[in-house]
Amino acid sequence: MKPPAHIDRRQFVKLGTLAATAAWLPTAATAAMTPGAPYTLPALPYAFDALEPHIDKQTMEIHHGKHHAAYITNLNTALASAPDLAKLPLEKLLATLPAVPDETLRTTLRNHGGGHWNHDFFWKTLAPVETSGKPSAALATALATAFGSMEAFKKSFGEAATKRFGSGWAWLIAQDGKLKVTNTANQDNPLMQGVVPAADLGTPLLGLDVWEHAYYLHYQNRRPDYIAAWWNIVNWPAVSERYAAATEKH
Ligand code: MN
């Protein structure tokens, strides 16, 4: 391996040594790229610093490169011993968890399969302020019908996110053609039939990660401040498209 043109040989050797001594760091990101493994870490659809000041660059780097990558690594490891389950689309796998007889495997798929699905969904739910847009007319009308107003919807969603004790997610879902706010613990989500209560099942339109790893570096214990800032970077065109697809399906 040759040093890049802008780095002299001595610097290059030093960098190599640093890389070697950093070998104790979690290798989740590389393990997630194992050839032949069913799942790989998707690249973020924007730069790590694109959501600043609302979500800082370092939080995004760790959240994506370490946390999300680790869910994928653990999901792949679990599926290595379950080739039939490895063939299922992830949403189907999450919807059929109760049919997995081995409790240890089922729990791993629930936590890490859920972790992968939720984070993939979360990155696509966000956008830099300049492109975050606003809800489509159809979605705006549906939100006003279901909650009374956009502000009332945000209040309801914010409460679901704030009141989720410990780690979990707040969701806006389409359920039997109607909009509903709910929340789930850990990495559970509204696709997990037989795992989360029927009242929380539906098509996710919007999801907010309220694990401390999502905000603690910048906001420390101030979860409500993180939630308030997060509204600035919601990818409303993406959420509107999900709503349109869910309405068609219904
Ligand atoms: Mn997370």
> Ligand 1 mean position to 163 CA, how many Å?
17
Note the pTM of the prediction, 2 decimals. 0.86
- Cα-to-centroid distance, 61 and ligand 1 (Å): 11
Average pLDDT of the residues in 15-22: 37
> What are the structural domain ranges in the chain?
9-33+55-127, 130-247
- Compute, in angstroms, the gap from residue 62 CA to the centroid of ligand 1: 10
Q: What is the pLDDT of residues 160-200, one digit of tens each?
A: 999 999 999 999 999 998 999 999 999 999 999 999 999 99
pLDDT (0 to 100) of residue 36: 79
Distance from Cα 68 to the centre of ligand 1, integer Å: 7
Taking only the tens place, the pLDDT of each residue in 194-228 is 999 999 999 999 999 999 999 999 999 999 999 99
Environment of ion ligand 1 (residues, CB < 5 A): 209, 211, 214
Residue 168 corresponds to which tokens in the numbers above? 């979990």
Cα–Cα dist 239/199, whole Å:
21
Classify each residue of 138-164 as buried b or exposed e, where b means 16 or more C-beta atoms within 10 Å of its C-beta.
Answer: ebbebbeeebeeeeebbebbbebbeeb
Nearest by Cα to 110 from 84, 78, 87: 78
- Tens digits of per-residue pLDDT, 111-168? 999 999 999 999 999 999 999 999 999 999 999 999 999 999 999 999 999 999 999 9
CATH superfamily of 130-247: Iron/manganese superoxide dismutase, C-terminal domain (3.55.40.20)
Q: How much is the pLDDT for 250? A: 62
Q: Extract the tokens encoding 141.
A: 């009308």
Domain 9-33+55-127 has CATH 1.10.287.990: yes
